[in-house]
Structure 1
Amino acid sequence: MVHFLISLPSWTLIRWFGLAAYISLFIGMALGILYSFPQLKGTAKLRTMQIHTLANHLGTGLALLHALLLVIDAYMPFDWHELLIPFTAGHSPGLNAIGTIAMYGLLLLVFTTDIRHKLKRKLWLAFHFLAYPIFALALVHGLLLGSDSAQQMIKMMYAATAAVLILLTALRAGIRPAQKSSGKMAKMKQG
């Protein structure tokens, strides 16, 4: 079994799991923002939530595999403490710490979402909005430390995913004031 694990193309798997985790988390986050749009209703809203949850769980699992494979990598192996304790990695301690902190953040998001029925809504939302800085950490980790980040297509992927999330967030932020003001207008007309 150990020979099998060591014979795996671990560096390739580490890279692919990292990229797949990032893309899956991007999809999950984009769908989470779309879910909050009031225009989304019924079956489409339910399906969006299901895929949002699946993408985030898949992304978290892939990110864990990405990190765990670093222990068996023959090219640049990590010790457990380098994976678990931020800023202790022998190679690029700051950028690796960003990845470790993002991983802890993902686990916190998944955990607090799973127990959200036991949390007050405002507390759960505060945890859930950590998705933005966690995603930013994952973006910086991948962009600055990823061995594929020098490739133009990978750079374009990071830029496009960041742009889409910024656009969706801006669109969603623009809807909220319009709803509040239209509600105030209706109250003013009634009064």
Structure 2
Amino acid sequence: MSHEALTQALWAFGRGSGVAALVVSTVAVVVGIAARSGRAITLPRSGIAELHRGASLIACALVAIHVVTLLADPDAQLRLIDILVPFAADYRPLWLGLGTVAVDLLIAVVVSALLRHRLGPRVFRLIHWAAYGLWPVALVHALGTGTDAGRPWLLAIAGVCVVAVAGAVTWRAGANFTEFGRIQRRSVR
């Protein structure tokens, strides 16, 4: 494979995995909100929890592919420091910095999930709420950087993701949303 073909492949994997990560993380956020309701929407509660976990793991893998392929791509000019320190990049420091912030938040959410039983439910939930910040930061990163920023197909995908998350958050904030814990406590009484 020629150097040019390899660079094009890395760039395509970097871009594609980033967009796919946005879509799958949207699914994880929406399903995560549904999992908190305790209601069987179309799947039993355990199925919704598994779907949330699976989507979250796939989103993490896609983010890893996104970062690694862009690190390996010489044309992307991404440095290790750019993925560790927000806003330190030479290329589009604001937009790339938002991606770094999203990765940092993702790491915090993943670590809290792995240590859930040691942290306790309150600390876990507090850290896990970072996903509500992670998602819009990742969305703005996707819309502000890269060669596809502003393209109609990316704006359409982002629009669908925004509508899905906004709908789920609106439902979550609504009076008819019942937390799973509240459902359990009422049935015990």
Residues 38-187 of structure 1 aligned to structure 2 (within 5 Å): 38-40=38-40, 44-175=44-175
Q: Distance between the aligned counterparts of 2:25 and 2:176, measured in 1?
A: 25
1:154: how far off? 1.4
Point out where structure 1 has 5 or more consecutive residues left out of the alignment.
Answer: 187-191
Letter in 1 for 2:9: P
Structure 1 window deviating more from structure 2 (62-71 vs 95-104): it is: 62-71
**Contact 1:21–1:63 (CA<8 Å) still a contact in 2?**
yes
**Contact 2:171–2:177 (CA<8 Å) still a contact in 1?**
no
Instruction: Name the structure 1 match of 2:37.
Output: 37
**Contact 2:15–2:146 (CA<8 Å) still a contact in 1?**
yes
CA deviation map 1:166-191 (0-9, x unaligned) = 11111122246778xxx9xx9xxxxx
Structure 1 74/166 Cα, relative in aligned 2: closer, same or farther at 3 Å? same
Instruction: Name the structure 1 match of 2:18.
Output: 18
**Contact 2:102–2:135 (CA<8 Å) still a contact in 1?**
yes
Structure 1 78/7 Cα, relative in aligned 2: closer, same or farther at 3 Å? closer
Structure 1 window deviating more from structure 2 (17-26 vs 32-41): it is: 32-41
Q: Distance between the aligned counterparts of 1:41 and 1:158, measured in 2?
A: 25
Structure 1 window deviating more from structure 2 (78-87 vs 47-56): it is: 78-87
Q: Distance between the aligned counterparts of 2:177 and 2:165, measured in 1?
A: 19
Letter in 1 for 2:71: V
**Contact 1:71–1:80 (CA<8 Å) still a contact in 2?**
yes
Point out where structure 2 has 5 or more consecutive residues left out of the alignment.
Answer: none
**Contact 1:18–1:63 (CA<8 Å) still a contact in 2?**
yes
Q: What is the identity percentage for the equivalent residue pairs of Structure 1 and Structure 2?
A: 22
Q: Give the TM-score of the pair, scaled to structure 2.
A: 0.84
Count of aligned pairs: 180
